[in-house]
Amino acid sequence: MQRRTKPLIWIVAALAVFVTALWQQRAEYAPEKQVPHASVPASVEAQKWARVQEVVPAGEREELLATLELIDRGGPYPYKKDGSTFSNREAQLPVQARGYYREYTVRTPGSPDRGARRVVQGRNGDTWYTSDHYKTFVRIDTHEER
C-alpha cells in the first residue's frame, strides 16, 4: 500500500509546483492596475462628475458613474472586453497612437448583450462617453464635446 501512496504524493507535489508557477506567471504578465485620476486634484474630479450630470441623460447616469468608479479602482470588470484597446476606427476621437485609448462597457439594463454604451479613456485620463456605439461621443472629463 505504501507503493501507491508515494507516487500519489509526488503527483500532488508536482501539481502544487505547477499551479504556483502558473500563478506567478499570471501575476508577472497581468496588466498593472491603472488609477488614471490618482494624481488629479479632487476639484477636477468634482468637475468630471458635474459634467456627467450636465451632459448625460438621467436614465444613463447611474450605470455610467458605476463604470467610472470601476475604472478608477482598476476593476474587476464585468465584461471580458473591458479595458481592451479602442482603435478609434470611426475617427470620432482625436487621433492618437495605437493603444492610447481603452474601452469599457456601461451596463444597459434589459440588454441581452453588452449594449451600445461605452466609456473610452485615453492614457492621459481624457474620458469620453458614447451611448450609440461609437457614432457620437461626449467628453466627460472637461467641458469639451465632440
Average pLDDT, the chain: 78
Mean pLDDT confidence for 109-130 = 90
> For 136, left (φ over 0), alpha (ψ -120 to 50), or beta?
beta
Are the C-beta atoms of residues 120 and 130 closer than 8 Å to each other? yes
pLDDT band, very low/low/confident/very high, at 103 (cuts 50, 70, 90):
very high
pLDDT digits (tens, 9 = 90+) for 59-88: 888 888 888 889 988 889 989 999 999 999
- What pTM value is reported for the model? 0.64
Residues classed as catalytic: 103, 133
Mean pLDDT confidence for 25-29 = 53
Q: Are strands 138-139 and 118-122 parallel, antiparallel or unpaired?
A: unpaired
d(CA 66, CA 108): 12
pLDDT band, very low/low/confident/very high, at 4 (cuts 50, 70, 90):
low
pLDDT band, very low/low/confident/very high, at 42 (cuts 50, 70, 90):
low
d(CA 70, CA 35): 10
